[in-house]
Amino acid sequence: MALTTQQESDLLSMLAAYQNGEQIDDLPAASMDATDKKIEVFDTKSGASQCMDLTTAVDMANAPWCGRVWRTDLSTPTAETYCGSLEMLRNLADILGLGCYLVKNDHSRRKLDPTNHYRFANGETAKLDGSMGHYQWGWNKPFYYAKWTVGVREYQAISLYPIKGQYNYRIPVGSLSATGLAALDRTNDTLVSYINDDAQYRGGNNTPGWDGTYRTLLGRCATNRTTAQFAAAAHKNGAGWLGGTMRGAAVVKILVEIIMGTRNVQAAYNASKDANGLYQGGFGTGVTNWNGTSWNNYNGYNPFLHLSAAVDMGDGVGVKAVPVQDESGTTVFTANVPVFFGLKNFFGYIWRVSEDELAEANADKSMKHWIIPSIYETYTYGSTSGMSLKSTSPASSGSYIKKMSRDNLEMWPTEVGGSESTYEADYFWNGSGITSGFRAVFRGANTSDGGYAGCGAVSVSRAVAYAYASIGSPLCEFAEEFALEPEYYGVA
């Protein structure tokens, strides 16, 4: 095909430009009297060449960050894409040191073998019975979390360094019960993360007559105590030790969303990674779909899983099917225990108390959200003295969460009207007819809550002093202060 006169002219111009092109050493030296230099970069996601400020490029190279992006104009809980460093996101769990540890009361920790939690990473034998510390899941590096919105896109990102141009939350080194819920040393009234079948650590509502039967509560998590009682028992381990916390729940939710790429933790589990080598999907139903009547007939809503359930998965990611049997040995329920880099039952199964937050009912049935600014603060649960008022929930007797405030790491419902597979995909229990007074905050939901359950599920329908067989607590610890006010880091 013959070229037109214009095409021939264009080709000759391109050839001349190529032949006259300068090598990098032929270019004049850049001046140092201005910092607003730009460079050409190649976007591997889009395949396009783009322009970037030199200072931004240096920041990204020296202080990489990674995250996910959601569309605020769509109802899907699945992230639209990733943002920041793809390589960092692929390896985020290793970078943060996610996994299980034995942690002593002075916050010193030893990493367990990622494939076998009955030995340390160096091969030495590890015991989970309390003789060598608390069996915890956590991270061994402090990190930063930032969120921001551009148009209809909402970004959530993590870095080991402050993300420039954003408000950052600093997450200190910390952990929570690796089994998802804690046991109770009944001799010393101390909350512990031990896997121990001794009667001293009997779980549930502490029914000794069930020992030796299929209903046994030996080796089960502790329940049937008030938030204040769980908190006091946790504090006996020392400074920086708490019961269930909004802070711990927020870190888990953030990491699950960014690493798995979905806010619907009950989305089907997918063992395969996507085309970018990233995790995709949720963890299925988890331990949420046992009929409430059957559970009540089995053991009166008490915990039924031994704390060792799914420990054999190590620091893995997936679902472990655990049979629950009656006195004849018949399997009456299969508990599909979710595991997130070694953290078990991080939603569903047993409600979790949250000692660093409190709800206060308004006349219109909405709920004020109060939070404790410092983990070292002395306070009385049920009083707002020393607490800070943050978001307010919508006036509703209960509904699926459509929007949730992540400010101050609240994870607090601000709009309802979603479903179990859209938006936040978790439920908000706001009681019926509550127009005044304080309410305890419980998170995660329980075995009979089905699609209502999730990392963001919240209940404020019970009184501050409420205790029940299906309400327990993880043991949380943070090696230093965990502030809830973000700090802005400007672009140099």
**If residue 249 lies in a helix (H) or strand (E), which one and from where to where?**
helix 246-260
The tokens for 220 are 């089960």
Using DSSP's 3-state secondary structure scheme, residue 200 falls into helix
Which of 100, 105, 108 lies closest to 128 in space, CA to CA?
Answer: 100
DSSP secondary structure, 81-138, as one string: EEEE-HHHHHTHHHHHT-EEEEE-TTS-EEEEETTEEEEETTS-B---SSBTBEEEEE
The total of other beta-carbon atoms located within 10 Å of residue 429's CB is: 20
Q: What contacts 450, CB < 8 A, 6 or more positions away?
A: 285, 288, 289
The tokens for 492 are 């140099």
Rg (CA), the chain: 26
pLDDT at 54: 43
pLDDT at 159: 98
Q: What contacts 463, CB < 8 A, 6 or more positions away?
A: 437, 438, 439, 440
Which of 169, 158, 156, 165 lies closest to 69 in space, CA to CA?
Answer: 156
The total of other beta-carbon atoms located within 10 Å of residue 153's CB is: 15
Residuewise pLDDT in 10s, the chain (492 residues): 677 777 777 666 666 655 665 565 665 665 545 456 565 655 555 555 656 454 455 455 568 999 999 999 999 999 999 999 999 999 999 999 999 999 999 999 999 999 999 999 999 999 999 999 999 999 999 999 999 999 999 999 999 999 999 999 999 999 999 999 999 999 999 999 999 999 999 999 999 999 999 999 999 999 999 999 999 999 999 999 999 999 999 999 999 999 999 999 999 999 999 999 999 999 999 999 999 999 999 999 999 999 999 999 999 999 999 999 999 999 999 999 999 999 999 999 999 999 999 999 999 999 999 999 999 998 999 999 999 999 999 998 889 999 999 999 999 999 999 999 999 999 999 977 788 999 999 999 999 999 999 999 999 999 999 999 999 999 999 999 999 999 999 987
Using DSSP's 3-state secondary structure scheme, residue 6 falls into helix
- Exposure on the CB side of residue 84, measured as CA atoms within 13 A: 29
Q: Please give the Cα distance from 465 to 439 (Å, whole number).
A: 9
**Which residue carries 């909402």 as its tokens?**
154
Q: What contacts 184, CB < 8 A, 6 or more positions away?
A: 190, 191, 192, 201, 203, 222, 225, 233
pTM, full prediction: 0.89
Using DSSP's 3-state secondary structure scheme, residue 443 falls into strand
C-alpha distances (whole Å) from 53 to each of 36, 67, 167, 243, 478 are 7, 21, 21, 46, 37
The tokens for 233 are 């028992």
The two counts, helices (H) then strands (E), for the chain are: 7, 31
Using DSSP's 3-state secondary structure scheme, residue 375 falls into coil
b/e map 469-490, b = 16+ CB within 10 Å:
bbbbbbbbbbbeebbbebeebe
C-alpha distances (whole Å) from 21 to each of 27, 39, 51, 64 are 10, 17, 20, 33
DSSP state at residue 381: T
Contact 273, 279 (CB under 8 A): yes
Q: Please give the Cα distance from 347 to 81 (Å, whole number).
A: 25
Domain range summary for the chain, segments of one domain joined by + = 68-176, 182-481
Contact 113, 142 (CB under 8 A): no
The total of other beta-carbon atoms located within 10 Å of residue 185's CB is: 20
Pairing of strands 143-150, 109-113: unpaired
